[in-house]
Structure 1
Amino acid sequence: MPVGPVPEAQIEQNLLPQLAMRVGDAINMDYIRHDLNVIGATGLFSTVKPAFTTVPEGVALNYTVQMNPVVKKIDIVGNESISTADLMKLVATTPGTTLNTAVVSHDVANINSAFANAGYMMSRVSDVRLDDEGTLHLAISEPCIENINLRGNTKTKNKVIMRELRMKKGDIFNKNAASRSIQRVYNTGYFEDVNVRLLPGQRNPKDVIVEIDVTEQKTGSVTIGAGYSDSDGLVGILGLAETNLRGTGDKANISWEFGGNTDTNKNYIFSYTHPYLNDAGDSIGFSIFDRESEYDDYNEKGDSVAEYDRRTNGFNITYGRVRSEYVSDYVTLETKRTKYTDYDSGYNYREWQNDPSLPSKYRNYLDNNFGRTNSMTWSHVFDNRDNVYDPTKGKRLSFTGTWAGHGMGGDFDYFKFIAENRLYYKVGRAHVIAVRLMGGIATGDMPYNDLFTLGGADNLRGYEDDEFRGNKMYEATVEYRYPIAKKIQGVVFTDLGNAWGGVENIPWYHENNKLHYSGGLGFRITTPIGPIRLDYAVGQDGGKFHFSFGGKF
């Protein structure tokens, strides 16, 4: 049962052991079909035919084949997203060898996989052809974005959405760029939902029209209130906040308390941020504030030692510089002044100031901890979270340094540095493990209010707000987050950490380098006025409820 004609005897020798028909067998059409498939699967032949010849002993079976032509050159055309040199590395077919259709099919699959792995899910080999001169032509089809259509944005201007996109008209469609674009649009916080559809092109059906459909959500809030007391009289409260001002993406916030019998009730905070100064996405914002509030100081045991009114006023300006898709730098210049305004209960720091019998750190407590601070803060941030409001994967790594005084004026001179890493791991369909690690160190004469603080709803739950202070700090949090109902999420968490050092000017606070820890349960509820956090944590001194506004870390 010869196979031929073939240019090399080795080809026939490799095939014969794989054939089902053997000398002496009766003719079996199933065996013949098997042999035809085996010979054809080599990819070396353009035709394979069985031929029967009568001989004295019976019938002679010959498999007549026609060899494929020799490939003299390979030409890849139509590719833009991946270079020809990179595609050629995936091609096993080499010039000077007989065309092997099985190898060529494998080459095509490799090229298609390379496009898919790079995000070009619609790019592929559209045609394979060997011409009469022996050139193997591989034609690549890469659908482009014919247009991008926006729907549903009745308030938000088109340019606000378009500037977040990482794809544009004329680009070769890439699913990674499309996915990142949708993430960025959602992360603006202007939309409740963002969806994308791909439609066939109108001018060229092979191209695509990207349709982005958004559902806008409430981005503004108004707070109006009033209060009355015998000492202050009638006090009015007005708050206005808008994170998408007139659909431009600008953020503005004002909070104002007015009226009353004294100037201390004329409290306000005004902030404004313009998120896009240029095509790179640089931002600028400022804040002016003058606020007075009741404040409690706690010792290292969590006991309140003083209750008083503290006033803080000043302003800051922040410039944000985008370095790359996931990396940004922020520089903030700030001047602020803190003032001890009124005694309520506990230690009276003002009386200490006038008591010569007390040690100097008591008499100088107000001078050492209240006054003006002029500072410059730089932050370097890497953030590739999929959703900044409810992340399920990715991380946010930041390094922040503060330079206060030291030639910038003010009453205090210090350096402060903090590093923070937030990590998110998706477990199953909708469960998430979130981890936060923080550490900080500072040097210089830091006032009480600028020391690192731990305790309260934002970090070390189960303890009083800002219960632990110092110029050194570390903290770790692990949360297991799981859905309960629409817009309600459950949380199981544990916190641990400590802050210590640099408290020489705080006579009532005795530092310790003891590890503090807690664990508990909580809920995250999305409401029309913003996210609400409810936590109950048990620390070393018992349990404590925490209620706060704002998103989770």
Structure 2
Amino acid sequence: MTDGRGAGTSCGCDAAKVHMLWRVAAVFSFVFATVFLVLPLPADAQTYTFNSVRVEGNQRIETATIVARTGIERGKPVSAGQVNDAYQRLLDSGVFETVELTPKGDTLVISVTEYPTINRISFEGNRRVKDEVLQDAIGSQSRKVFTPEQAEKDANTVAEIYSAQGRVSATVVPRIIRRSDNRVDLVFEISEGTTIEIERVSFVGNRAYSDRRLRQVLATKQANLLRTFLRSDTFIADRIEFDKQVLRDFYLSRGYVDFRVNSANVEFTRERDAFYLVMNVTEGQQFSFGKITTVSEIPGVDPAAYQKALKIKPGVTYSPSLVENSIARMERLGLKQGVDFLRVEPRIKRNNRDLTLDVEFALTKGPRIFVERIDIEGNTTTLDRVIRRQFNSVEGDPFNPREIRQSAERIRALGFFATADVETREGSSPSQVIIDVDVEEQPTGSLSLGGSYSVSDGFGVAIGLQETNFLGRGQTLGLTLSTAQDSEQYVVNFSEPYLLGRKLRFDLGTGLSTQNSSFASYDVKRVFFNPALTFDTGELSSVQFRYSWQDSEMEARDDEVNGAVISSEIAQGKLTTSLFGVKYTYDSRLGGLNPNSGILFSVGVDAAGLGGDNEFIKTSGRVIAQTKVLNEEVTLRATLEAGALSWSGNNFSRTIDRFILGPNTFRGFEPAGIGPRDLSNGQDDAIGGNYYWVTRLEAEFPLGLPEELGLRGGVFYDVGNLWDLSDVNTAGANVVGADGSVRHVVGLSFLWTTGFGPLQFNFSKALKKEDFDKEQSFDLTIQARF
């Protein structure tokens, strides 16, 4: 029994196990079958053959154009990848907003949604920049296809225009207004924002020059009180790059050959309403010229003649501009001697021990390259010859890169063009170059209007017209009309800088004027005709030959009494003066060896008597010397002026012929406040003198005030004399001061740089004067620039 029960139990367990195994196997079989059915079976790449193509949704684009763009040919097999490429080509065309390609049997259906066309473009919110300027800058145009990408690009372009004006917070949002026929109006919504100013400009690493002096060099200025008129304190990124370059030029021209700008960091202030500009610089040591030599590597060319042409000497502070000027001078000498393709190579040897640079000018033969032609574009008004005459080279001449660069600077200096680009490219052969000149013209005319009013004389109008590029010929034509009672003028001025195609300046002034004298009771009427010719005699000098014809008359005012001298001069009536003159000028302010010093010297002689009623010789001269000291922050200036009149006619000279000194010549006195006077008939008439001399000594310096105020101080000392009345009718006159006496004046000046120009306030005190002099302790003038 026991074995039977045990055996039966064992059999039941085995059956259960077998049954379980069958169930597991069934489950695995089901899962395997399911997975097998779901997984794709390997298949060949799908291909299509389209016998027709149907395009849907196109309105402007021709169906044939769209089909051709796909690159799919009817009746030929195409793969799925080729269909996808066709889709991509249509989308990349930039004219469809959506593209869909659907195979339907042997037909390919292309469904497209075209981008709309731009009906019109408008700008909203712009007050600082005109619509025309913005329209010319963007790529989107009316009647062209609108694309969001181009609209975003245009918005960035408009924002950059505002950023260039210092409005870095300006935002531009393009929006569209849908119209009928799949058209849209494109609107740029502009928020101009405010200009971000430069609150402080500072320097790190400068030892030779103070922050104040270096700030004078930069075009970027600190915020000032006159920013309504001056925008140079606005942050403009491109201007910072320009400032880095002018700072390099400033140091290099003063011998700091190792100077570099390490960084120019611009940071927001804590309030984030302004910027700080910090320029980190390394000055290095200052170098001077050492030995200056010239060698020739061209057979038959004597270097001694070129050495004599040099102006720089050992010991002069090194400046790259002086080296460039020397090279240009040598190359011009080579042209005169017939040495073609002359190249002057400056070979510089550095002497760190004594801080000098030895310069050896090597005369070498340059490549044989000729100027094939000069192409000029962009000049719609200016004649080609006005631009061409700025080149010393013409077609067929040897090519000189340095001369071309100088010609480009002369073109820009004309002031006729907003931009002037001069570039070279290879011509019809490697030995020829073509010079391309691309200019953009700008307005060259100006109009000035003024007016005056007095109770006795009423209103007066002053109109000034000037065109500096008359008829595109590079000539200057000016017209001045003034109907003021005390100074009525009708004057025409004309200037031709290249008479007969040569560098010979012709000037002509003609007109008539009536002027009331402010220091005696008479009026002066003049009719004049003044032509002049001026030409250069050297790099720094020029000579002017001039002729003047003048019909002048002194007239008494109604019911007013004059002294005996003035009365006798009025009695002479109308007199004609015909004179020839010559004037020599030497000016080293720009082209001299020292950028901080310069001399201006001029002397002129006028001789009257070849026709007319008056005979005399009148000579005048002026010398001005200026230098900057104490890190160039203090300016010292000395001026000497003198004049002499030698009368030789049968008549007497008049007050209007003699010298009269005003505040611009001798400070501390009223106009005609010093010199001989006629006290007869109860009058106090200034009658001028035949001889004068004046010496002015000045110093200008910073006051320690915030630089943004634009205020500087100065002191001056003037000394001079005006005397002699030879050939003057003094019968019955009570004349004082004819023998002359030296006057001395000291004073204090305040120089204020404003948006209206540099103003100079002079407070003076006469240390020595005559009782009859007319002192003036204060005057305001436009600051004279040396």
TM range (shorter): 0.5 to 0.7
1:245 is matched with which residue? Answer: 470
Q: Distance in 1 between matches of 2:416 and 2:752?
A: 19
User: Does 2:518 match 1:296?
Assistant: yes
Which amino acid is the alignment partner of residue 536 of structure 1?
N
- Superimposed CA distance per residue, residues 60-99 of structure 1 (whole angstroms, 9 cap, x where no aligned partner): xxxxxxxxxxxxxxxx99859xx64429999xxxxxxxxx
Where do residues 489-528 of structure 1 align in structure 2 (5 Å cutoff)?
Answer: 490=712, 492=714, 494=716, 495-502=718-725, 504-505=728-729, 507=733, 508-511=735-738, 512-523=740-751, 525=753
2:608 to 391, 395, 404: 404
State the SS of the aligned residue for 2:660. strand
State the SS of the aligned residue for 1:460. coil
Deviation (angstroms), 1:400: 0.7
State the SS of the aligned residue for 1:160. helix
Where do residues 36-435 of structure 1 align in structure 2 (5 Å cutoff)?
Answer: 79=298, 84-86=301-303, 118=327, 123-124=344-345, 140=364, 142=366, 159-164=385-390, 170-174=398-402, 190=415, 202=426, 219-226=444-451, 232=457, 235-257=460-482, 267-297=489-519, 306-343=520-557, 348-349=561-562, 361=565, 364-367=568-571, 371-386=575-590, 393-405=597-609, 407-410=610-613, 412-425=614-627, 428=631, 433-435=636-638
Aligned residues: 410
Deviation (angstroms), 1:254: 1.3
Label 1:265 to 1:430 Cα distance change in 2 as closer, same or farther (>3 A). Answer: closer
Deviation (angstroms), 1:312: 2.3
2:491·2:509 contact (CA, 8 Å) conserved in 1?
Answer: yes
Q: Distance in 1 between matches of 2:478 and 2:327?
A: 42
User: Does 2:760 match 1:534?
Assistant: yes
Deviation (angstroms), 1:473: 1.7
2:6 is matched with which residue? Answer: none
Moved more, 278-287 or 480-489: 480-489
Which amino acid is the alignment partner of residue 416 of structure 1?
K
1:13 is matched with which residue? Answer: none
1:15 is matched with which residue? Answer: none
Q: Distance in 2 between matches of 1:480 and 1:265?
A: 35
Deviation (angstroms), 1:172: 3.4
Deviation (angstroms), 1:534: 2.9
User: Does 2:777 match 1:543?
Assistant: yes
Q: Distance in 1 between matches of 2:568 and 2:344?
A: 73
Q: Distance in 1 between matches of 2:582 and 2:633?
A: 35
1:61 is matched with which residue? Answer: none
Normalised to the residue count of structure 1, the TM-score between the two structures is 0.58
Deviation (angstroms), 1:448: 0.9
2:671 is matched with which residue? Answer: 465
- Superimposed CA distance per residue, residues 184-225 of structure 1 (whole angstroms, 9 cap, x where no aligned partner): 66765x37999999x786469999999999998875332334
Deviation (angstroms), 1:367: 3.5
- Superimposed CA distance per residue, residues 522-541 of structure 1 (whole angstroms, 9 cap, x where no aligned partner): 5375868xx55433141414
Q: Distance in 1 between matches of 2:424 and 2:572?
A: 69
- Superimposed CA distance per residue, residues 151-190 of structure 1 (whole angstroms, 9 cap, x where no aligned partner): 9988765643553456676343448x956x67766765x3
Structure with more relative contact order (C-alpha pairs < 8 Å, separation 6 or more): 1
Q: Distance in 2 between matches of 1:123 and 1:230?
A: 70
User: Does 2:653 match 1:439?
Assistant: no
Aligned-pair Cα RMSD in Å: 5.2
State the SS of the aligned residue for 2:671. coil
1:455·1:462 contact (CA, 8 Å) conserved in 2?
Answer: no
State the SS of the aligned residue for 2:500. coil
Q: Distance in 2 between matches of 1:341 and 1:87?
A: 65
Q: Distance in 1 between matches of 2:658 and 2:637?
A: 26
Deviation (angstroms), 1:418: 1.5
Label 1:154 to 1:233 Cα distance change in 2 as closer, same or farther (>3 A). Answer: same
Deviation (angstroms), 1:236: 4.0
1:21 is matched with which residue? Answer: none
Deviation (angstroms), 1:272: 1.2
1:302 is matched with which residue? Answer: none
Which amino acid is the alignment partner of residue 238 of structure 1?
I
State the SS of the aligned residue for 1:278. helix
Normalised to the residue count of structure 2, the TM-score between the two structures is 0.43
2:237 is matched with which residue? Answer: none
Q: Distance in 2 between matches of 1:546 and 1:398?
A: 27
1:94 is matched with which residue? Answer: none
State the SS of the aligned residue for 1:386. coil
Q: Distance in 1 between matches of 2:492 and 2:644?
A: 31
Normalized per residue, the structure richer in strand is: 1
Deviation (angstroms), 1:438: 2.1
Label 1:446 to 1:154 Cα distance change in 2 as closer, same or farther (>3 A). Answer: farther
1:12 is matched with which residue? Answer: none
Deviation (angstroms), 1:114: 10
Q: Distance in 2 between matches of 1:216 and 1:533?
A: 33
Q: Distance in 2 between matches of 1:153 and 1:446?
A: 53
Which amino acid is the alignment partner of residue 413 of structure 1?
E
Q: Distance in 1 between matches of 2:325 and 2:497?
A: 34
2:487·2:515 contact (CA, 8 Å) conserved in 1?
Answer: no
Normalized per residue, the structure richer in helix is: 2
Greater C-alpha Rg: 2
Which amino acid is the alignment partner of residue 502 of structure 1?
L
Which amino acid is the alignment partner of residue 332 of structure 1?
R
Which amino acid is the alignment partner of residue 242 of structure 1?
E
Q: Distance in 1 between matches of 2:748 and 2:573?
A: 34
Label 1:259 to 1:499 Cα distance change in 2 as closer, same or farther (>3 A). Answer: closer
